[in-house]
Structure 1
Amino acid sequence: MGQEDSGDGFDRSAMHLLHRAGQYANDVFLLEASACHLTPRQFTVLATVGELEGLTQTDLVERTGIDRSTLADIVARLLSRGLIRRRRAKQDGRAYEIRLTRVGIKTLSEAQPRAMAADTRLLSKLPPAKRQEFLESLSLIVQGDKD
C-alpha cells in the first residue's frame, strides 16, 4: 500500500491539502527569494508597508491576516535588520506607524520580482485554464475568514 493510497483520507482533506500547499509555497518562495533573506510573511509585511506607509501594527494585522504576536515578532526582526522604522502615530500616541527605510525599499524592490517568480512557479503546477479559478477560490476561503 503506497503513501498515495493510505486510506486515511488526507489526500481528500481540504485542511490537510491547504497546509501541505502552504508548506510547498513557503519552500518555493524561500528558493526563489533566498538572496533577499526574507520569509514569505516578512515579504508580505514589507510589501504592505510599501503600498501604504504609516500603517500601524494593528492595521498590518487587519491587512495581512497575520496574528498579532507573530506580526510583532516580524516587526521586531525587520526593525533589527534596518528594513523598517517606526514612530508614534499622530492619531494615536499608543500606536506606532511603520515605514520602510532606504534599505527596506531596496530589499522590497529586489524581492518583488522574486516573489512574482515564486507565484508563477506555484501556479505552473496547474493547467493554465484553472489558475484564475484557483486564485478566486483561495480568495473566497480567505474572505470567509472575515465574515
Structure 2
Amino acid sequence: MGQRDTGNGLEHSAMHLLHRAGQFANDIFLLEASACHLTPRQFTVLATVGESEGLTQTDLVEKTGIDRSTLADIVARLLSRGLIKRKRAKQDGRAYEIRLTRVGVKTLSEAQPRAMAADTRLLSKLPPSKREEFLESLNLIVEGGKD
C-alpha cells in the first residue's frame, strides 16, 4: 500500500524547494547565457563590480552574499580570463580594489540582456499576478538573513 501524503514531505520544505528552484534558475541562466561563458555567480560578481567600481573582495562578499573562499576562486577565474583587474586599495594596503577591464565591460554588456532573459524565463513559470510578490518574498528572506 502507498504512503499517504501527510503534508510534511519535501513539497512543503522551504529549504528543499529553494534549493531546487536555485538549481532550475542556474540551468536557465546557463542555457540563456552560454555564449558569454559565465556562471551565474561570475555574472553576479561582474555586475556588482560594474555597478560599483573599486570594491574590495570584502565588499563583494557583503554585496553578493558569496562566501569568501568561493569569491576568491571566482575573482581568480575572472582575473585569468582578463575580465577584471585589481590593484591595492588606497585606504587599506592589504585589500585589493576590483575593476572591470575593457573585455569585462564588453562581456558584462553582452551578458546582461541574457541574464534578464533568464530571469524572464524563470518568472514565466509563475502567474503574472504572483511575480512581484515572489520577488518581494525572496528579498524579505535575503534581508532577514543579514540580521
The TM-score bracket by the shorter chain reads over 0.9
What does the per-residue CA deviation read over 1:98-122, in whole Å, with 9 as the maximum and x for residues that have no partner? Answer: 0000000000000000000000000
Q: Deviations over 1:30-67 (max 9, x none)?
A: 00000000000000000000000000000000000000
SS in 1 for 2:38: coil
3-state DSSP class of the match of 2:66?
coil
State the alpha-carbon separation in 2 of the partners of residues 128 and 103 from structure 1: 36
Residues 1:102 and 2:93 aligned together: no
Amino acid at match of 2:122: L
Question: Where do 5+ consecutive residues of structure 2 fail to align?
Answer: none
User: Residue 129 and residue 54 in structure 1: after superposition, are their counterparts in 2 closer, same or farther (change >3 A)?
Assistant: same
Q: Secondary structure at the match of 1:105?
A: helix
Read off the aligned partner of 1:84 and give its amino acid letter: I
Aligned to 1:43: 43
CA separation in 2, counterparts of 1:107 and 1:64?
Answer: 19
Equivalent residue of 1:90, what SS? coil
SS class of match (2:90): coil
SS of alignment partner, residue 98 of structure 2: strand
Moved over 4 A (4+): 5-8
SS in 2 for 1:42: helix
What is the distance in 2 between the residues matched to 1:129 and 1:6? 29
CA distance in 1, matches of 2:6, 2:103: 49
Distance in 2 between residues matched to 1:55 and 1:8, nearest whole Å: 44
Letter in 2 for 1:37: H
Deviates more, 1:65-74 or 1:6-15: 6-15
2:31 corresponding residue in structure 1: 31
How many correspondences in the alignment?
Answer: 145
Local SS of the residue matching 2:138: helix
Aligned partner of 1:15 in structure 2 is: 15
How do 1:62-77 residues align onto structure 2 when only pairs under 5 Å count? Answer: 62-77=62-77
Identity %: 88
- Give unmatched runs, 5+ long, in structure 1: none
Normalised to the residue count of structure 1, the TM-score between the two structures is 0.95
CA RMSD, 1 decimal: 1.6
**One-letter amino acid of the structure 2 residue matched with residue 131 of structure 1:** R
Q: Is the aligned partner of 1:137 residue 2:137? A: yes
SS at match of 1:126: coil
